[in-house]
Chain A
Amino acid sequence: EAQVTQNPRYLITVTGKKLTVTCSQNMNHEYMSWYRQDPGLGLRQIYYSMNVEVTDKGDVPEGYKVSRKEKRNFPLILESPSPNQTSLYFCASSLLGTGDGYTFGSGTRLTVV
């Protein structure tokens, strides 16, 4: 089944403890992206990647890192999480150059205390 898989689904952590949220897709998509969703603010793009080793900032990249060493994986790294990064995170992927739709993961709910 074609899908985008995020792990974990839920995570509670403490301020300053490094964490990684994984995202994997099995559709050979070039494009992958991370979003955060907060009440009243909709979906905001954090980082995106057009292909392996190619990444760029979205609208809210501060406090986050990403890497794209393999086509299928696009992990989101929080080096020193803070409470303002408590949010619902989504990963998405798509083919490029076709205008086709995006496939989203089921989300990761992160709480930083």
Chain B
Amino acid sequence: DAKTTQPNSMESNEEEPVHLPCNHSTISGTDYIHWYRQLPSQGPEYVIHGLTSNVNNRMASLAIAEDRKSSTLILHRATLRDAAVYYCILRDGPSYNTDKLIFGTGTRLQVFP
């Protein structure tokens, strides 16, 4: 099962950019890289996902290394509302046979005013 490695915690000041790293050295060619975040007392919320190219959406940007063994979630201007636990996971895109996901413990992001 493909696994990811993330730092336990990170800190940022409000309105500064935040770069959250994730290592996934055992990624396979069909694995998509997903990012989710979980605010206190809520279910995980989808943030962004990608396969090979960098991706942007209204919430964040995803930068994927050329060898795909690591990725970085970029929050361009952190707000207090971005304080959450961020999870990086791998999902086999074309698979109709198995979807056994491993979340890990994620990165707890603290944002200071």
Contacts and interface: CB of A to CB of B under 8 A. Distances in A.
Interface of A: 31, 33, 35, 40-45, 48, 50, 56, 58-59, 90, 92, 94, 96-107
Contacts of A59: 100, 102
Interface stretch (B13-21, B65-73, B75-83, B103-111): B103-111
Contacts of A45: 100-103
Nearest to A109: B41
A56 B32 CA distance: 21
**Chain B: interface size category:** 20 to 34
Interface of B: 32, 34, 36, 41-46, 49, 51, 87, 91, 93-106
A107 B96 contact: no
A48 B32 contact: no
B96 A97 contact: yes
A43 B103 contact: yes
Given A101-B34, A104-B44, A105-B43, A40 B93 contact: no
Contacts of A35: 103
B44 A41 contact: no
19 contacts: A33-B99, A40-B105, A44-B103, A45-B101, A48-B101, A50-B96, A50-B98, A56-B100, A92-B43, A97-B93, A97-B94, A101-B34, A101-B49, A102-B36, A102-B44, A102-B46, A104-B36, A105-B43, A106-B42
A12 B51 CA distance: 42
Contacts of B32: 99
Given A33-B101, A43-B103, A58-B100, A101 B46 contact: yes
Contact of A99 (B43, B93, B96): B93
A42 B100 contact: no
A8 to B, nearest CB: 15
B108 to A, nearest CB: 11
Contacts of A90: 43-44
A69 B68 CA distance: 38
Contact of A96 (B41, B42, B46, B99): B99
